[in-house]
Structure 1
Amino acid sequence: MTTVDGDGVRLKTEADEPGWEVDPDDEWGVAVIATVGRQLKLRREAVGMRAAEFGDAVGYGEDMVYKIEGGKRIPRQEYLDRADEVLGAGGLISATWEDVKKVRYPKKVRELGKLETQAIEIGVYECNIIAGLLQTPEHARAVIGAAQPPYSPDDVERMVAARLARQSVFERDPAPSIHFVLEEAALRRPIGGTMVWRRQLEHLLEVGRLHNVVLQVMPLSCEVHSGLDGRIEMLKFPDGTAVGRSDGAFNGRPTSDPKQLRILELRYGTIRAQALSPRESLALIEQLLGET
């Protein structure tokens, strides 16, 4: 259904913004959006504006106004900025975007990103794709967009933004020690087309040469491979604690149990030993880049 205001201007409706629903299992996200929605409603009522009138002013349909105020929909930044102007909030409504934008990222991604920002050592073995921390925006968009059933365009952009936000770990000071092991097969698969693939390989070379990053490649010619059970991630923190997870162990859930961590560390250490050296790995990536 199309909604228009009194001047015939088309107003944005729910159909225009798929993927902005609140995840009911995300307790913190639900609380944030409910609080922002309540603030919007109170301010609107305080200036004596009806929902339909307010919707016309901000460019959204009345139904969307009610859903946002009821904590059922995540407002876009443009909605909050326009609401701030219309209600004369002096920047207070616009400022809520700092919390709202975090809710746009899936809960699991937020939790992983938080752990990565605290870790002093990060180790990742990725078996089927290039690790998310290493993906360019274009490559990430191509990988996520290839999912079946497909995500909506809005959901794709949300997930790409979440993946790129995690890459802030490379900007930390002091810098954490980061180690990656990638599969040669993933480096040979031109996801997104030749130009996207070339830029991804170039990006791997750039990151692989950072002083705090070690990048290794597991060659196709490897006859003994200890990573066939799936990806592994190991995070170590300043207080000596650690968290690890693996697709093929402990139901894929993060673990901090010392016995389970030892198993993951043994597996990850063996994978590193089986992979090409960092120098050989960068040389292989340069070779692949030259073949495109």
Structure 2
Amino acid sequence: MAGKNLDPSSSPRALLGAELRVARERAGMSQAELGEPLFVSGSFIGQLETGTRRMHLEFARQIDEILDTNGFFARNCAAAAKSKYPDHFAEAAEAEALAKTIRDYAPQLIPGLLQTEAYARAVCRAYQPTAPEQVIDELVESRLARASLLVDPTTPLLWCVFDEAVIRREVGSREVMAEALRHILALVRSHRIIVQVIPFSAGAHAGMMGLLKLMSFDDAPPLSYAEGNGTGQLFDDPATVARHVLNYDLLTASALSPRESLTVIESAAKDYEHA
């Protein structure tokens, strides 16, 4: 292993994780034993091995030293770190692609997994009003690529809770909004996703601080992701994840039922179409 490099074109993070597992087992160490000198948990090492988490250079150098891998992980760390997503969201997006269940709370915008091309373009242009068209095209392309995980009819389970502002705020144009809401309705009616709406009448609720994403996996501990203006953080600390799970449960309790939510979204789509 020490004399080769990973092929950046073939899922480098997954390959790097697989090589880490081989090197760790060859050294006769458990995940917890490898994590101890790195001051991380055994579950974090497991997430590196499954490709759920990104291996940063500082960890790669220490792993090379501990496992005596002749600089392999440091050399290949850069290839595994490359991402088409913004830095603050890259790890969350890549973990999302491996998740068994995804639960999203959206306070202002339709979640990226559910956006149409026209809606995504309007959002990206609003964020970067002076960016060249090529930059916007690349941002839209990467956002739409995330939705490919919905091609599978059953996995992952996607449950979204929207604040009513998501469907009432006109993004792009009335035509863009009508198309975006019809797209969500089609996914709900095909039983591919679950959607709930928190109405304005609910008043204050547990999600007013910002976007929240929860992810669970078959072979790794759950993660949560919280995002602000141009910032985001992925969490694996059990206490933090548990607190975020509670927040999400409170949000679903404040929301309309899925059937009632479907009616509200349908009504909003008609309003945009006929106004």
Matching residue of 1:191 = 171
Change (3 A) 1:128 1:244: same
> Which structure would you say has the larger Rg?
1
Segment of structure 1 superposing worse, 202-211 or 168-177: 168-177
Indicate the SS of the match to 2:201: coil
Distance 2:83 2:205 in 1: 39
User: Which runs of structure 2 are paired with 1:172-191 in the superposition (5 Å)?
Assistant: 172=152, 174-191=154-171
Show CA shifts across 1:208-235 (max 9, x none).
2232411011111112311111010000
Cα deviations by residue, 1:163-210 (Å, 9 ceiling, x for unpaired)? 101001111365211100112112112211121111011011012223
Q: Secondary structure in 2 aligned to 1:175?
A: coil
1:112: Cα distance to partner? 2.9
Q: Is the 8 A contact 1:208 1:215 kept in 2?
A: yes
Q: How does 1:135-214 map to 2 (within 5 A)?
A: 135-148=115-128, 150-172=130-152, 174-214=154-194
* Secondary structure of 2:225 counterpart: strand
Q: Which residue of 2 aligns with 1:79?
A: none
Q: Which amino acid aligns with 1:263?
A: R
Further displaced range: 104-113 or 199-208: 104-113
How far, CA to CA, are the matches of 1:110 and 1:206 in structure 2? 28
Contact 1:224 1:274 in 2 (8 A): no
**8 Å Cα contact 1:176/1:212 also seen in 2:** no
CA distance in 2, matches of 1:258, 1:103: 26
Aligned 8 A contact 1:202 1:289 in 2 = yes
Residue from 85, 95, 106 that aligns with 1:126 = 106
2:117 maps to amino acid: P
SS at match of 2:118: helix
Separation in 1, partners of 2:147, 2:198: 23
Q: How many Å apart are 1:149 and its aligned residue?
A: 5.1
Q: Does 1:284 align with 2:275?
A: no
Is the Cα–Cα contact under 8 Å of residues 181 and 272 in structure 1 kept in the other structure? yes
Larger RCO of the pair (alpha carbons < 8 Å, separation 6+): 2
Q: Distance in 2 between matches of 1:240 and 1:104?
A: 24
CA contact (8 A) 1:122 1:178 kept: yes
AA at the equivalent of 1:231: L
Distance in 2 (alpha carbons) for counterparts of 1:148 and 1:156: 8
Tell me, yes or no, if the aligned pair for 1:116 and 1:122 is still in contact at 8 Å. Answer: yes
How far has the Cα of 1:280 moved from its partner? 0.5
**Conserved? CA contact 2:167–2:181, under 8 Å:** yes
Structure 1 residues 107 and 172 mapped into 2: Cα distance closer, same or farther (>3 Å)? farther
Deviation at 1:121, TM superposition (A): 0.5
Equivalent residues, number: 194
Residue in structure 2 matched with residue 270 of structure 1 by the alignment: 250
SS of residue matched to 2:268:
helix
Aligned to 1:239: 219
CA contact (8 A) 2:85 2:93 kept: no
The structure-2 alpha-carbon separation of the partners of 1:173 and 1:136, relative to structure 1 and needing over 3 Å to count, comes to closer
**Percent identity at matched positions?**
34
Per-residue CA deviation, residues 53-97 of structure 1 (Å, 9 max, x unaligned), is xxxxxxxxxxxxxxxxxxxxxxxxxxxxxxxxxxxxxxxxxxxxx
Q: What SS does the corresponding residue of 1:245 show, helix, strand or coil?
A: strand
CA distance in structure 1 between the partners assigned to 2:103 and 2:209 by the alignment: 16
Which TM-score applies when normalising by structure 1?
0.61
* CA RMSD across the alignment: 2.5
What are the equivalent positions in structure 2 for 1:1-292 lying under 5 Å apart? 104-107=84-87, 110-148=90-128, 150-172=130-152, 174-239=154-219, 241-247=221-227, 252-292=232-272
Task: Please report the TM-score for the alignment, with normalisation by the length of structure 2.
Answer: 0.64
